[in-house]
Copies of this chain bind each other. A is one copy, B any other.
Amino acid sequence: MTEIAIVGAGLIGRSWAMVFARAGLTVRAWDADPGVSARLGEDIATMIRDADGDPAIAGRISACATLAEALDGADWVQENGPENAEIKRALFAEMDRLAEPDTILASSSSALMPSVWSDGLAGAARCLVAHPVNPPHLVPIVELCPSPRTTPDVMDRAEALFRGVGQVPARLSREIDGFVLNRLQAVLLAESLSLVEQGVIDVQGLDDTIRHGLGRRWAFMGPMETILLNAPGGVPDYIRRYGPMLARLTDSAARGEAFTESAGQIVADAFPDFDIRARQDWRDRELAALDRHLRSRSERND
């Protein structure tokens, strides 16, 4: 695949444009808001500068005046519209009508399973979710989630595309609410908010426990390999030894009721005078630096 259409060129769409264009692919972007399209060139230039990217990347990205123009000749469409089932269904119906029969239609949705917006489309078999972590040009994971109608061939082509452009596709066998990443994030957030709201630990201490503890391993090694390395007697033996304790902790952990506005207020109060925009820029610089670090390590050994 060499021709990419980006539909919705805000924060996530622009970052996707960067992912594909820096890998040498041609990107045509469209946004329902003409103001977003007008600013695209400038926004891309800023992103390339911040990421120390090759200025030539910008030459492979162009803004289109219409959806049809963006989709013309595209092998892959990456949609980044609002998380609204009605809007997405209408948009995918339109794209299914406009796109060539072989074009794959993917949504960046983090919340809507593909069946929700693709059921009933003539081209439902070529629709899937390709869910990134924001911003995808700095975080390589992309969850590939099929609907019951998505064909294995479409999934294979999706996986090959993302591997080819240097992302890390994680392929789901079937659709599930929240996909994988947000299911994992949700249980951790629930227990975090609960511990903070109970006053067991303060917000800073909670964040430090991940940032200077669990996150140190999870930056280069998943939780399954973490278990394996702590199981000299094998993983089933590990489960026999530690399973009862882990089960007890899980059974006593918070559930959905942990997501209270009062817990949210405790988090907010822990960051007074917080400059969210400056800190977002800091986060993106740190993500870029960490990505460079991990790639340089991975070239050495893995």
Q: Is A299 an interface residue (CB 8 A)?
A: no
- Write out the residue numbers on chain B whose beta carbons fall within 8 Å of the beta carbon of A265: 235-236
CB-contact partner of A218 in B186, B196, B214, under 8 A: B214
Could you say which of A15-23, A31-39, A168-176 contacts chain B? A168-176
Is there an interface contact between B215 and A243, defined as CB atoms closer than 8 Å? no
Q: Are A192 and B264 touching (Cβ within 8 A)? A: no
Please judge, given known A-B contacts A187-B188, A218-B218, A228-B276, whether A264 and B238 are in contact too, CB under 8 Å: yes
Asked if A47 CB lies within 8 Å of chain B CBs, one says no
Tell me if A199 is interfacial: C-beta within 8 Å of chain B.
yes
Q: Which residues 161-192 of A have a CB within 8 angstroms of B?
A: 168, 170-174, 176-178, 180-192
Cα–Cα distance between A11 and B10 once the two chains are bound (Å):
50
| A220 with B228, Cβ < 8 A, contacts A200-B172, A239-B263, A268-B235 known | no
Q: Which single member of B172, B182, B190, B220 contacts A290 (CB below 8 Å)?
A: B220
- Contact yes or no, B264 A188, CB < 8 A: no
Q: A139-B212, A178-B245, A189-B246 are in contact. Are A222 and B200 (CB under 8 A)?
A: no
Tell me whether A207 and B224 are in contact in the complex, defined as CB-CB below 8 angstroms, given that A186-B249, A215-B219 are known contacts: yes
Docked-complex contact A133 and B216, CB < 8 angstroms: yes
Are B254 and A250 in contact, with the CB atoms below 8 A?
yes
Q: Which residues of B contact A141 (CB under 8 A)?
A: 208-209, 212-213, 216
Kindly state whether residue A256 has any CB partner on chain B within 8 Å.
Answer: yes
Inter-chain contact A214/B185, CB cutoff 8 Å = yes
In the complex, whether A97 has a CB less than 8 A from a CB of chain B is no
The complex places the Cα of A119 from the Cα of B215 at a distance, in Å, of 33
In the complex, what residues of B have CB within 8 A of residue A276's CB? 228-229, 231-232
A286 at the interface (CB under 8 A from B): yes
Chain B residues near A270: list those with CB within 8 A: 224
Q: Give A224 to B212 CA distance when docked, in angstroms.
A: 14
The answer to whether A201 and B180 touch (CB under 8 A), given A188-B188, A234-B268, A247-B259, is yes
A157 at the interface (CB under 8 A from B): no
Whether A290 touches B216, Cβ cut-off 8 Å, given contacts A209-B184, A238-B264, A264-B235, is yes
Residue pair B215, A279 in contact (C-beta under 8 Å): no
In the assembled complex, the Cα of A196 lies from the Cα of B170 at a distance in Å of: 13
State which residues 242-273 of A face B: CB under 8 Å.
242-261, 263-265, 267-268, 270-271
Sample 21 A-B pairs with CB under 8 A, ordered by A number: A111-B245, A140-B212, A141-B213, A141-B216, A171-B201, A173-B200, A180-B201, A183-B249, A186-B253, A203-B224, A211-B219, A216-B291, A221-B283, A224-B270, A227-B267, A228-B274, A229-B283, A231-B276, A247-B258, A248-B256, A251-B255
Interface of A with B (CB < 8 Å)? 111, 133-134, 138-141, 143, 168, 170-174, 176-178, 180-192, 195-196, 199-203, 205-225, 227-232, 234-240, 242-261, 263-265, 267-268, 270-271, 274, 276, 279-280, 282-283, 285-287, 289-291, 293, 297, 301
